[in-house]
Structure 1
Amino acid sequence: MRPLRLAVPLLAALLLAAPARPQTLQDRAAVDPPLGAQVPTALPFRDETGRSVRLAALLGAVPVILAPVYYTCPNLCGVTLAALLAGLRDTPLAPGRDYRVVAVSIDPAEGPKDAAVAEEKALTQFPEARAAVRFLTGDAAPVADLMRAIGYRYRRDDAIDPFTHAAGAAVLAPDGRLARWLPGIGFEPQDLRLALVEAGEGRIGTLGDRLLLLCSHFDPLTGRYTGAVMSLVRGLGAGTALLLAGTLGGAFLRERRRSGRERGDG
């Protein structure tokens, strides 16, 4: 028994001394959107002109697409913003009337000048959206609080990139609730359109948009709206085929039994 008593604390010490599992990129840069959660709207930011602004001033009337980026990003952020605005340009929804776009830098070292440069680049292909788009910067605490509220994790990592972060955009309802997260750097116009109609709770878009939304299902893994009705139709078709096969098979078996009895009687 003595060796066993000595082995237990030794094993515990080894486990405690073992190095922690190295944090992966997935741990450091991921999105776990708490859909339906309220984002803090009183946090202070600065817009591309240097004016103080709170998120509450940009909410209230229409849904808001919130894009977490940083403006000096050498990789994904510029592509994400350009793709987002290009996708919105190709929808029938109107900037300002039906939605707003708010880009927020995750880098507290960036300021209004960085935001203004990013604004000019992003709006090149969609200048009509200028009045409905804001590029914000802020101090570390409000930025972190906002990103935490939408489930967006990022980490400074100068060995790979100034920041490791995910790509995508959040869709906020007019009251600031998180309605959708659209992942990736490519935004299909129909997905943007349906996400905004859904976040607007029927107050934007056409009757056709709302009917299309009823016929669609959102896949959070791909960020796409899929044809739920067509899936239902295919499922019903398969069920009908199985039912028909069962009915025909039963009729065939009954006919064989009846024929066998008649031959036996003869």
Structure 2
Amino acid sequence: MTVRVCIYLLSGLVLLASTNSVFAQGYYRQDELPLMETKPAIFDEVKLDEKLGNKIPLDLQFTDQNGKTVTLADYYKDGKPVIINLGYYDCPMLCGVVLQGLTDGVKKLNWNPGDEYRILTVSFDYAETSQLASDKRDTIFATMGGAKQVKGNGWDFLTGSRDSIEKLTKATGFGFKWDEASKQFAHPAAIVITSPDGTITKYLAGIVYPPSQMKFALMEAADNKVGSFLDQVVMMCFQYDHVAGQYTLAVTRLMRFAGWVTVVLLGSIISLLLIREFKRRRLEQSNG
């Protein structure tokens, strides 16, 4: 018992240290554009209006990368949390950066889309076609070594009608607007985390999605029904910071956890000592 607890404790501390180092690598809120020296005024009109607790309309119809008509409900049937990535496939700048950030996070995450969770990349440009979606999917999957990490329809790329797009972006609070000057859409940089019933549980804003952040958000969305015991232990030491838009170390929780572990360790050691003393006395009595 003592050895097992020590292993969990040491492993947890290693994970905590590595997670904190990931946080230090850089994180951007949705209203920060690190690739630009100045932010165009149009971005003030396309804020991300977080709709936490809102349910997305699962009856909305879209077309997948194969030209097949699907509904959002098709991706929620097996009880997995779903990441929604809104953008458009012909985007010359921000969408590609966001999508690459998501791809990097997926590659480093020790979970596979289609197993523990799903991803939906959805174009908000109703003029785009399923062929564009297919081409973008192939490009992204090529950077993942042939999509060996993706199981089945674990990561689909969708297009849709104006009505479906407007209803989905309204439900998620994701603003976008065509900028005639730059000939592109202005929009926030963020991914939306939804629970297995389609409830919006978290927004991860920015262009960098550390695997630890994604894992915590997915675990919370799934009501801790995904993830190992060690994942659950580590998550107890973190809390979501709505201002920073990320999970941060919860000092109070960490102190409580450390205290709990200390009590368990001390109790185990005392129990072992008592058992040894009891055995020693019985041995002395039998020899006497």
TM-score range, shorter chain: 0.7 to 0.9
What is the distance in 2 between the residues matched to 1:191 and 1:197? 10
Q: Does 1:47 align with 2:49?
A: no
Offset of residue 230 of structure 1 = 6.0
Q: Which residue of structure 2 lines up, in the alignment, with residue 29 of structure 1?
A: 46
**What residue number does 1:110 align with?**
128
1:191 aligned to which of 210, 213, 230: 213
Say whether the 8 Å CA contact 1:66–1:104 is kept in structure 2: yes
2: distance between equivalents of 1:96 and 1:76? 26
- For 1:230-249, what aligned pairs fall within 5 Å after superposition? 233=255
Question: Which residue in the other structure is 1:90 paired with?
Answer: 108
Match of 1:264 in 2: none
Amino acid at match of 2:193: V
* Whole-Å separation in 2 of the counterparts to 1:165 and 1:190: 25
How far has the Cα of 1:125 moved from its partner? 2.4
Partners of 1:109 and 1:65 lie apart in 2 by: 23
**Other structure's SS at 1:195 match:** helix
Is the 2:64–2:159 contact (alpha carbons within 8 Å) kept by the matching residues of 1?
yes
Please state whether the residue corresponding to 2:83 is helix, strand or coil.
strand
Higher relative contact order (CA 8 A, sep 6+): 2
Asked whether the equivalents of residues 86 and 125 of structure 1 are also in contact (C-alpha less than 8 Å), the reply is: no
In 1, the alpha carbon distance for the partners of 2:42 and 2:180 equals: 13
**What is the TM-score when the length of structure 1 is the normalising length?**
0.75
Percent identical residues: 33
* C-alpha displacement of 1:214: 2.0
1:172 equivalent in alignment to 2:189: no
Q: Could you say what the CA RMSD is over the residues aligned between the two structures, in angstroms?
A: 1.9
Query: Structure 2 unaligned runs (5+)?
Result: 1-39, 256-288
With the length of structure 2 as denominator, give the TM-score of the two structures: 0.70
- Give the counterpart letter for 1:57 in structure 2: D
Offset of 1:107 from its aligned partner? 0.3
Deviation at 1:199, TM superposition (A): 0.6
Quick one: distance in 1 between partners of 2:209 and 2:244? 11
Q: Distance in 2 between matches of 1:194 and 1:231?
A: 15
Q: Which amino acid aligns with 1:107?
A: D
Instruction: Tell me the secondary structure at the aligned position of residue 84 of structure 1.
Output: helix
Structure 1 residue 157 displacement after superposition: 1.4
Contact between 1:64 and 1:172, CA under 8 Å: does it hold in 2?
Answer: yes
